[in-house]
């Protein structure tokens, strides 16, 4: 069988599994959602990376020395279907996993406790539609959707009935608080505007109650 090194060798209308995914040697970053290939942006914008990096650092410093771990993309998160087959493989911008049993050499198998997606023009539909349904149906407890250009953040929290409850739309001047990482409070001025790292350390130290 010819080794797959390009998306041109694959049928984009066909469903694939994680077994197929592991055999590919494709340089493009891709995700599988319900088995279908979704090509990711080749290089996120500078604003996207700044926003993602700031949130990652704040979470990392907050959960340091706890049982939780935080990972930034590219990092594979896999979800099993009811038949046990993996047809959904995504690379969230930020993933927080508090169950070490879900972690392995190839990433995470099962739902992270918290996922953060930073929107870009090419990913908005995927993050707001496909991934919303995917994360909800597989039990991701908290899903943050961040719009770096509009400087807004929305939090979806999983309810007992399996549906997501949406927060208000947060923006600069607001402080967001995680229900999963209890005690984590992030001022959005520090996410969307230039800030002093020493101030971040003071904020994290003050609200660290793990």
User: What's the residue count for the chain?
Assistant: 210
CB atoms within 10 A of CB 76: 21
Residue 136 clears pLDDT 60, i.e. is over it? yes
- DSSP label at residue 62: H
Beta-bridged to residue 31, according to DSSP, are 38
**Cβ(190)–Cβ(173) under 8 Å?**
no
Can you give the residue ranges of every domain in the chain? 43-207
Selection from 121, 128, 189 nearest residue 149 by Cα? 121
- Residue 98 is predicted with a pLDDT of 97
Per cent of the chain over pLDDT 70 is 88
What order do you get walking across the sheet with 107-109 strand by strand?
36-39, 30-33, 86-90, 77-80, 107-109, 103-104
Give the pLDDT of residue 175: 96
Tokens 């003071």 belong to which residue?
A: 202
Strand-pair category, 175-177 with 185-187: antiparallel
Residue 66 neighbours by CB distance under 10 Å = 11
Among candidate residues 2, 37, 3, 5, the one with its CA nearest the CA of residue 18? 37
Give me the half-sphere count of Cα atoms (radius 13 Å) on the Cβ side of residue 114: 24
Q: What is the pLDDT of residue 65?
A: 83
Residue 120: what pLDDT? 81
Give the residue-averaged pLDDT of 131-152.
Answer: 95
Q: What is the pTM of this model?
A: 0.87
Mean pLDDT of 76-99: 96
Q: What crossing angle do the helices spanning 197-207 and 46-63 adopt, rounded to 10°?
A: 40
Distance CA 172, CA 8 (A): 43
- pLDDT of residue 17 exceeding 60, the answer is yes
Q: Which CATH architecture has domain 43-207?
A: Alpha-Beta Complex (3.90)
Percent of the chain at pLDDT exceeding 90? 74
- Mean pLDDT value of segment 59-72: 94
Asked if 60 and 96 count as a contact pair (C-beta separation under 8 A), the reply is no
Distance (Å, whole) CA 175 – CA 177: 7
Take residue 123 and report the two structure tokens written for it: 């990913």
């Amino acid at each position: 069988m010819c080794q797959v090194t390009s998306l041109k060798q694959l049928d984009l209308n066909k469903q694939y599994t994680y077994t197929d995914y592991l055999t590919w040697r494709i340089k493009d970053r891709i995700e599988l959602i319900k088995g279908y290939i979704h090509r990711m942006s080749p290089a996120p914008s500078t604003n996207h990376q700044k926003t993602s990096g700031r949130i990652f650092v704040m979470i990392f410093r907050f959960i340091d020395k706890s049982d939780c771990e935080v990972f930034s993309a590219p990092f594979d998160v896999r979800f099993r279907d009811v038949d046990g087959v993996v047809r959904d493989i995504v690379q969230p911008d930020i993933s927080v996993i508090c169950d070490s049993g879900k972690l392995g050499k190839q990433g995470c198998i099962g739902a992270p406790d918290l996922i953060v997606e930073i929107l870009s023009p090419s990913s908005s539909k995927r993050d707001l539609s496909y991934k919303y349904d995917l994360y909800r149906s597989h039990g991701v407890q908290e899903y943050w959707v961040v719009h770096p250009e509009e400087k807004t953040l929305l939090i979806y929290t999983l309810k007992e009935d399996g549906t997501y409850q949406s927060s208000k739309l947060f923006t600069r001047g607001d402080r967001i608080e995680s229900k999963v990482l209890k005690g984590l409070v992030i001022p959005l001025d520090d996410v969307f505007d230039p800030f002093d790292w020493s101030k971040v350390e003071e904020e994290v130290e003050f609200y660290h109650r793990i």
